Structure 1
Amino acid sequence: MDSLPTRNQLDMARNANDLSGLNSLREAIANGQDKEALQETAQQFESIFVQMMLKSMRKAQDALADENSPFNSQQVKFYRDMHDQQLAVDLTSNGGMGLADIIVKQLGQNNPDYTPASAIRSDGNLASLNLQVKQQVAQAEQAVMAPPETSHSTAFKAPIVANKEAFVEALYPHAKQAAEKIGADPKAIIAQAAVETGWGQYVIHDNQGAPSYNLFGIKANSQWQGKQAVVDTVEFSQGVAARQKASFRAYDSIADSMNDYVDFIKSGARYEQAVQNSHDAKTYYQSLQQAGYATDPAYADKLMSVYQGSTLAGFNP
């Protein structure tokens, strides 16, 4: 049974306005009451936490209080704060919020079934944690951006040329004719087709294996009366990539694709600014992006990068 002097020392420590409370706890530890002193110290720590919450609540109340009210004087606040301090001590000494019990378990080590979090955490190293997050993000992006598995039961994407050089050679004659209609550089049009199809490596094919020759990612809306193919595509919503199915226009040849692209740009009122600036590739691309041609926030930059790249720069018709 606890001795009366030790119990009195612990009782004194529960008085929030007794400045000798800390010294009483020290004396209790010196008398061999380590466990009880630890419990009392944990409760005092919890009471400090509760006091901070009460103080924050009081500050919020003071912000809306009437400055001329007699209940808002400095004297009232002084005694109110003393009351809150003692209230916090009383609340934590009668069960409290459970924070004191956790502290006792953490520091006391008297429960064989309880292991401190510091002993079992494997992510305490921030560098390791950040690396893990980056790996998870990379895996998610790879799952979204990776080309879908080809299946001949539905539309799929497959190459129509062997390499970049063959792609440019196949498109240039048709791109030249299309560019003349809107006053653009043929290479600027080829660059857009290269971005949309991965230099002709990811062109939509129907379930029979026939290429759609959709070189510009133009979708089949309700006004489109021609052939179409449904295939997986990547769209951006608020900067986040997501895979979804969409219907795209299908053509019989590269020439048909180029002609429809020009008609699509010239007939769309929202692309009027782009047509007016078609002579300048950078402005043309930026106008297309601003008009909503693609959801990719870096669409114009990607087009310009391909347009200024070595493949197109080294091509001589």
Structure 2
Amino acid sequence: MDTMQTRSQLEMARNANDLGSLNSLREAIANGEDEQALQETAQQFEAIFVQMMLKSMRKAQDALADENSPFNSEQVKFYRDMHDQQLAVDLTSNGGMGLADIIVKQLGQNNPDYTPASAIRADGNLSSINLQVKQQVASARESVLASASKGTPSAYKAPLFESREAFVEALYPHAENAAREIGADPKAIIAQAAVETGWGQYVIHDGEGTPSYNLFGIKANHQWQGKQAVVDTVEYSQGIASKQKAGFRAYDSIEASINDYVDFIRSGARYQQAVDNSHNPQAYYQSLQQAGYATDPAYANKLMAVYQGSTLSQYNP
């Protein structure tokens, strides 16, 4: 008799428009029929899913319906939605889409072939897995960069000039010739090289001690066919700095480095605005930053501070 009573209560719970259906479901649980109550709850959840699917289909139909049709009135839609609710319940109670069975097996934990619901989410394990994935990606990236480099992975940064004055003196003649190509002030180009290399104190050298003469931090992309060196560099992502390994172009002289910089700026479509503003150092630097030349959010301000600094302003070629 108890089983028949429970079955009756569960059948009442299948009435989508019966406001007391949830109470019937609670009473069935109170009678100790947890498995049957779980099955019914899973079917109702699947019914909600089917109802949402039917509702989306109805909306698509309404978009093409005639507004003046009597079958498109609000009253008809109201009763139609009630019908769809009950239809969804009836469909799921007779087999449905199989979603209810999966829920029962997961939550009921009575089938060894299914993972218990308590083990589906394990945030601690997920964070560990994510950390391992990041480490594997970083290791793979370093391996690719090292194997792709025509230089040596043991490259390092070292001074190339004795002083700031020596740095400016060595760069100015080549910067002056290159600046004419884009209509810029030679000191504006030297200021960028000063920021990228710390006034020539952090120039990339290969493992044998040969300087790369990379004065502008230009990386070796897939289009670069010359020599390169892989070193640690600081990149910014959403304002947060992080150390990464990257391959940088290597040159045979200061002149080659400056000439390649000008070609790099002129040939890149994204730097067209910078070329147009080359006569104005501040606008030129801002355009470079906006075009993504560097990830440092304060890049343009740093360039301008060096350009207006005493070392360059006092230099008289």
- Whether the TM-score (by the shorter chain) exceeds 0.5 is yes
The yes-or-no answer on 1:250 pairing with 2:252 is: yes
Question: How many Å separate the matches in 2 of 1:267 and 1:24?
Answer: 76
Q: Which moved more, 1:38-47 or 1:208-217?
A: 208-217
Q: Do the aligned partners of residues 289 and 66 (structure 1) sit closer, same or farther apart at CA in structure 2, a change above 3 Å counting? A: same
Question: How many Å separate the matches in 1 of 2:286 and 2:141?
Answer: 25
Question: How many Å separate the matches in 2 of 1:5 and 1:259?
Answer: 89
Q: Which moved more, 1:6-15 or 1:40-49?
A: 6-15
Unaligned stretches of 5+ in structure 2? Answer: none
Question: How many Å separate the matches in 1 of 2:26 and 2:226?
Answer: 83
Indicate the SS of the match to 1:166. coil
- 1:80-229 aligned at under 5 Å gives the runs 80-105=80-105, 107-111=107-111, 116-119=116-119, 121-123=121-123, 154=151, 157-159=155-157, 161=159, 166=162, 168-177=164-173, 184=185, 186=187, 188-197=188-197, 199-203=200-204, 210-216=210-216, 229=227
Q: Do the aligned partners of residues 124 and 67 (structure 1) sit closer, same or farther apart at CA in structure 2, a change above 3 Å counting? A: farther
Deviation at 1:302, TM superposition (A): 2.4
The yes-or-no answer on 1:305 pairing with 2:307 is: no
Question: How many Å separate the matches in 2 of 1:141 and 1:152?
Answer: 16
Question: In structure 1, what residue type is equivalent to 2:162?
Answer: A
Question: How many Å separate the matches in 2 of 1:8 and 1:29?
Answer: 13
Deviation at 1:41, TM superposition (A): 2.7
Q: Which moved more, 1:11-20 or 1:131-140?
A: 131-140
Partner of 2:66: 66
Conserved 8 A contact 1:13-1:22: yes
Question: How many Å separate the matches in 1 of 2:81 and 2:266?
Answer: 73
Unaligned stretches of 5+ in structure 1? Answer: 221-226
- 1:32-47 aligned at under 5 Å gives the runs 32-47=32-47
Question: In structure 1, what residue type is equivalent to 2:66?
Answer: D
Question: In structure 1, what residue type is equivalent to 2:10?
Answer: L
Question: How many Å separate the matches in 1 of 2:107 and 2:59?
Answer: 33
Deviation at 1:286, TM superposition (A): 3.2
Deviation at 1:177, TM superposition (A): 4.2
Partner of 2:285: 285
Conserved 8 A contact 2:47-2:88: yes
The TM-score normalised by the length of structure 1 is 0.62
Q: Which moved more, 1:261-270 or 1:196-205?
A: 261-270
C-alpha root-mean-square deviation of aligned residues, in Å? 5.3
Q: Which moved more, 1:137-146 or 1:50-59?
A: 137-146
Indicate the SS of the match to 1:282. helix
Partner of 1:51: 51
Partner of 1:276: 279
Q: Do the aligned partners of residues 301 and 92 (structure 1) sit closer, same or farther apart at CA in structure 2, a change above 3 Å counting? A: same
Question: How many Å separate the matches in 2 of 1:77 and 1:87?
Answer: 15
Deviation at 1:92, TM superposition (A): 1.1
Q: Do the aligned partners of residues 216 and 142 (structure 1) sit closer, same or farther apart at CA in structure 2, a change above 3 Å counting? A: farther
The yes-or-no answer on 1:296 pairing with 2:293 is: yes
Indicate the SS of the match to 1:203. strand
Conserved 8 A contact 1:265-1:275: no
Number of corresponding residues: 289
Partner of 1:224: none
Deviation at 1:314, TM superposition (A): 7.4
Indicate the SS of the match to 1:211. coil
Indicate the SS of the match to 1:194. helix
Deviation at 1:210, TM superposition (A): 4.0
Conserved 8 A contact 1:152-1:209: no
Conserved 8 A contact 2:251-2:257: no
Question: How many Å separate the matches in 2 of 1:82 and 1:215?
Answer: 73
Deviation at 1:66, TM superposition (A): 1.4
Question: How many Å separate the matches in 2 of 1:13 and 1:266?
Answer: 71
